[in-house]
Structure 1
Amino acid sequence: MKLWLVLCLALIWVELHNGACQQLKRRKDAGESRVRPGGRRVKRPLKPKEGGAKGQSLLTQVLDKGRFLRLGPSTALPPGRSVELRCKGSSIGWSYPAYLDAYSDSRLSVKHSDKYSQLLLTAPSAADTGPYSCWVIVCDGTECEKDHDRSYVSYIYFTDKDNLFVPSAIHFEIVYLRPDRPAVVPCRVTDPQAKVSLHREVPPEELNANETLVTYDPTKGFVLQNPSPEHQGVFYCKAVARGTPQISNKFHLLYVEVPVSPPFVSLEAFPGSVRGGDDINVTCTVLGEPEVDVSFLWFYPGQDHHRPVRVHTSWRLVNRGKGHVTRQSQSVLTVEDMETIDFGEYMCKTKNPQGETIVATNISNISP
């Protein structure tokens, strides 16, 4: 009996000893997996932090009951219902469709707090369709700039079944075609699913979008990659959604072949010969691109004496033949009842985004 008891105790001791060794071995193996040769411990990889990572949008829409929706590159919303957007950060900048700024629309407001910035648009309509974006502003002392790595944009469509095209205050818009750059016929839609086509009015025909020379982008309109004189004429766009067709405003496409450069200026005085007591008009003329504004600045002999003069500035489009259109800008300086201080050099300084040009002419007194 005693021998049997001794054998049982011996077997139990062996089993316990083997289990403890196995557990110690597992601990050792686990420890070795975290230690490199040489005794250096390997750090466990950190889990990526949730939210705020580069490439993730911090632009969100506030929904009912305090819920948030992170906006993607485009969003479709119903018109009429107020929209609240938020962007995380203590210093945030915003952009939105330009006409909301141009008309100082009271429906739009922006408020800032310590943790986020809020954009609120009440009673949105089809006209409010466009890009809405926010970005983090970073400052170094008094100098601040936009952080392009933390800039987020969403193109918001306000899908109005009665307005498939984004309304415009211009009912007959001019589109200039240039041989060196794409041209855009800006018939944007409020429904990204609408099927849109481009049509010439006379002769009536459809200009097919072929994904190479003519493409369609619902956020821009039809893009003509290589405009030519053959694309001139009056066009309109047609959109169909849910079986209902609609027609856009009309667009007059004009071909332009004017080089981009500082102003090309001419200066002329009329009459050519003057004497004391006469009136004179000095005309400064600039030919340039149709939509490029030109500024004028005059220097004249009686300026330091505060001589009263009249200056009239205007511009018009000029057809140069074969459909080529240019812009003629003019500034006319008028001096009445010429005096001794009025004779001398008249200088016209013109400026456009490409540079400036100065021309001058000398007006002398013709003795009686």
Structure 2
Amino acid sequence: MKLWLFFTLVLLWLEVQNGVCQQVKHKKEAGENRIRPGRKRAKVRYPKVKEKEAGSKGQSILTQVLDKGRFLRLGESLSLNPGKTLELRCKGTKIGWAYPSYLDTFNDNRLSITQHERYSQLILTSPSAADTGEYSCWVLLCDGVECEKDGDTTSATYIYFTDKDELFVPSAIHFEIIYLRPDKPATIPCRVTNPKIKVSLHREVPAEEIAVDGTQISYNPTKGFIIQNPRPEHKGAYYCKANSTTKTTPQISTKYQLLYVEVPSGPPFATIEASSNTVRGGDIFNVTCTVLGEPEMNVSFSWRYPGLGQRPVSIHDSWRLINRGVGHTTRISQSVMIVDDVETIDYGKYICTTKNKNGETLVATSVKSRA
């Protein structure tokens, strides 16, 4: 009886000890994880964002190289002192450039452009007030030898070379003709070398200062005075006047002759007429081809006639400006063919083809034998 009781107590003690150990072990495991996974601090990894590729929309690819290898990303405009070499860079493996056109017209050796592996470099030595203007660059997309401009990559900056003695951007033309058209704005291009210069517009006859209201007539230092809706009463001789902040004497610009244009844009408006449509052998006659068009629109003439390649003829081309109606200016272009000592081969159709940048027009007339 006592032995049975002893074994029962031993088994009970072992069960109790086993339960206590499991409880301690459970508490220890819980203590090792007092910081819950949800509250554990961890490094936040942000996704890498690639930089915009050179030339992407909204980012300028045009920079100015400063002293000591520093670079300035250019905005809409920049004012610099003349004389110091200008160096611009444009990112890209194939770059196109634009700059004041006269630098090309006069083949100016002060300008050089070099394409490097990752950028193109433009250098202009000894810049002056005349070099004031827009400088721009763009990426060229090439397929073999053919390249085209990527319009989304163009970066442009208007650079003023401020010169206290040259308030207006110098021009090789001392008297410029401006054509006024009713269907588009006209610009009187008296640009300045400093955007802070005050400029006024003046008519010579009658002598008066023209009111600039900012709507019908406005001023932009990078372009000049802009007439939004030209009318015949705007024609005449004009000049601009600039007032310096350091000098009392104002400076006068180039003079401008404003002419009102009657003929609208389009292919040549051509007519043809023979001095006589019936001639005898041995006579002399001429055929005149006439085009009325815009004052600055160049016109080319070509002829087909019965004796082409077999008979000598004389052809004279000319043009002049004429006034038509009240205050309207038109360019008259003519080509005159003279046929001397008529022969049988000269009878037939005379065809004149006229061409301008907007298209071409063909006109014809016939010359017959007089019985």
Return the TM-score normalized by structure 1.
0.86
Aligned counterpart, 2:315: 311
Residues 1:299 and 2:312 are matched in the alignment: no
Aligned counterpart, 1:122: 125
CA distance in 1 between partners of 2:116 and 2:88 (Å): 13
Shift of 1:205: 1.5
- Percent of aligned positions that are identical: 61
- Give runs of aligned pairs for residues 1-368 of structure 1, distance below 5 A: 21-22=34-35, 26-27=39-40, 30=42, 44-47=46-49, 49=51, 52=54, 54-244=57-247, 245-271=250-276, 273-305=278-310, 307-367=311-371
Mind listing any 5+ residue stretches in structure 1 that lack a counterpart? 1-13, 35-42
Cα distance change of structure 1 residues 264 and 50 upon mapping to structure 2, 3 Å threshold: closer
CA distance in 1 between partners of 2:273 and 2:193 (Å): 51
Residue 100 of structure 1 aligns to a residue in which SS? Answer: helix
Amino acid at match of 1:204: A
The 8 Å contact of residues 268 and 284 in structure 1, kept in 2 or not, is answered as yes
CA distance in 2 between partners of 1:261 and 1:144 (Å): 30
Residue 103 of structure 2 aligns to a residue in which SS? Answer: helix
CA distance in 2 between partners of 1:322 and 1:187 (Å): 27
The 8 Å contact of residues 237 and 256 in structure 2, kept in 1 or not, is answered as yes
Shift of 1:47: 4.1
CA distance in 1 between partners of 2:58 and 2:105 (Å): 31
Shift of 1:152: 0.7
Shift of 1:358: 0.9
Amino acid at match of 1:122: T
Amino acid at match of 2:332: Q
Q: Paired residues, what number?
A: 342
**Which sits farther off after the overlay, 271-280 or 120-129?**
271-280
CA distance in 2 between partners of 1:295 and 1:228 (Å): 30
Aligned counterpart, 2:24: none
Shift of 1:50: 7.0
Amino acid at match of 1:318: I
Shift of 1:227: 1.1
CA distance in 1 between partners of 2:361 and 2:267 (Å): 7
Shift of 1:81: 1.8
Amino acid at match of 1:364: K
RMSD: 2.4
Q: Quick check: which has more Rg, 1 or 2?
A: 2
Q: Which portions of structure 1, spanning 4 or more consecutive aligned residues, are displaced by more than 6 angstroms?
A: none
Shift of 1:215: 0.8
Return the TM-score normalized by structure 2.
0.85
Cα distance change of structure 1 residues 161 and 363 upon mapping to structure 2, 3 Å threshold: same
CA distance in 2 between partners of 1:206 and 1:187 (Å): 15
CA distance in 2 between partners of 1:142 and 1:243 (Å): 53
Amino acid at match of 1:46: K
Residue 49 of structure 1 aligns to a residue in which SS? Answer: coil
Cα distance change of structure 1 residues 254 and 44 upon mapping to structure 2, 3 Å threshold: same
Shift of 1:276: 2.2
The 8 Å contact of residues 193 and 241 in structure 1, kept in 2 or not, is answered as no
The 8 Å contact of residues 277 and 366 in structure 2, kept in 1 or not, is answered as no
CA distance in 2 between partners of 1:135 and 1:213 (Å): 34
CA distance in 1 between partners of 2:313 and 2:34 (Å): 108
The C-alpha deviation readout for 1:55-79, integer Å capped at 9, x for no partner, is 1211111222222221111111111
**Which sits farther off after the overlay, 139-148 or 239-248?**
139-148
